[in-house]
Amino acid sequence: MDLSKTGKLTPRDKAFLRVLKWTPWLAFALLTLPVPIVFLLLFFTATATETAAVYLLLSLFSFGLGAVLGLLIVTILFFYRRTWLRRLRDRLAADGITAAEVDWFTPELTSAERKALKELRNQNALLADAYQETLASRLTATRIRQKASHELLRVERRINQARLLSSVDNAGLLGDLQADHERFVQVKSEASTRLVEAKARLQTIEASASRSLSQIETDLMLQRLSASQNQLPLALEMAKLEQEALAEGRLAIRTNEPVKPD
């Protein structure tokens, strides 16, 4: 079976993505640096002032031209990588998005979802797994609803076109189109229900994580407060003993002072 045609991620996909990550910067360096470096070497080895000036100008000109071409190539490669990733996400979502594939759909997550997932991964691995699984359900439901909405528009447009053909017996066509319309309406409704359930589950997990974190922080603060309160009487007692020692020392000094003769 050709995995590149299924909804599974292949080693080839991972390798190609790694290539796409460093290729733009390599292309920019190759277009910008080699020719100016050659002219700079010629500039430093030139014996005549006029020749050195020409090499310096050629070096600066080639660097500017290479930088412009490099930026153009980098921009094209970035657009190509974004298009390739979008097609890859469409292929992965063809058979439903799994929790292990959520990282590939990061651009489709909201900023709040990305932040919550990152915090949960750092604080609670079990809740992070549950959150990631629910995110997969949310992404799948969102895509199904969007696709159903798109298909509904197409079916409605075909129904309107078929109704304009009044001179043709198109009752069968209209019946098929109406059946398709009802099916897509049902799919969209079910996807919307699943989407609401997934969002509610995400909020439940976030609330649970927040309560756990708040409870831990509260317990730590209470422990520190108890420790500081336990240390307070000891500090007061030490200060009291210090004052008593100073008072006894002053009394001893006064007692030992010689009596002045009249």
**Looking at residue 137, which CATH number applies to its domain?**
1.20.120
- Structural domain includes residue 255: no
Domain boundary among 43, 59, 94: 94
Same domain? For 116 and 166 the reply is: yes
Q: What are the structure tokens assigned to 11, written together?
A: 């080693």
State the pLDDT confidence band at 73, using cuts at 50, 70 and 90. Answer: very high
Same domain? For 25 and 125 the reply is: no
Same domain? For 111 and 83 the reply is: no
- Name the DSSP class of 262: -
Q: Is 94's pLDDT higher than 50?
A: yes
Same domain? For 70 and 110 the reply is: no
Same domain? For 100 and 191 the reply is: yes
Q: Is 28's pLDDT higher than 60?
A: yes
The answer to whether the pTM exceeds 0.85 is no
- Structural domain includes residue 250: no
Q: Where are the alpha helices (DSSP H) in the chain?
A: 11-32, 34-45, 49-92, 111-123, 125-164, 171-256
Render pLDDT for 102-146 as a digit per residue (tens, 0 to 9).
988 988 899 999 998 998 888 888 888 889 999 999 999 999 999
Q: Considering only 47-61, 87-101, 113-127, 164-178, which range has the smallest mean pLDDT?
A: 164-178
pLDDT at 140: 92
- Structural domain includes residue 56: yes
State the pLDDT confidence band at 228, using cuts at 50, 70 and 90. Answer: very low
Q: What residues have CB less than 8 Å from 67, skipping those under 6 apart?
A: 31, 32
Same domain? For 125 and 221 the reply is: yes
Same domain? For 101 and 141 the reply is: yes
Burial 201-225 (b: 16+ CB within 10 A, else e): bbeebbeebeeeeeeeeeeeeeeee
- Structural domain includes residue 138: yes
Average pLDDT of the residues of the chain: 81
- Structural domain includes residue 219: yes
Domain boundary among 94, 127, 162: 94
Q: What residues have CB less than 8 Å from 260, skipping those under 6 apart?
A: none
Same domain? For 109 and 226 the reply is: yes
Q: What is the largest CA-CA distance in the chain?
A: 145
Q: Which domain holds residue 68?
A: 1-94
- Structural domain includes residue 247: no
Same domain? For 107 and 58 the reply is: no
pLDDT at 5: 53
- Structural domain includes residue 83: yes
State the pLDDT confidence band at 210, using cuts at 50, 70 and 90. Answer: confident
Same domain? For 103 and 227 the reply is: yes
Mean pLDDT of 230-238: 53
Question: How many folded domains does the chain comprise?
Answer: 2
- Structural domain includes residue 32: yes
Same domain? For 30 and 86 the reply is: yes
Same domain? For 103 and 231 the reply is: yes
Domain boundary among 94, 124, 156: 94
State the pLDDT confidence band at 186, using cuts at 50, 70 and 90. Answer: very high
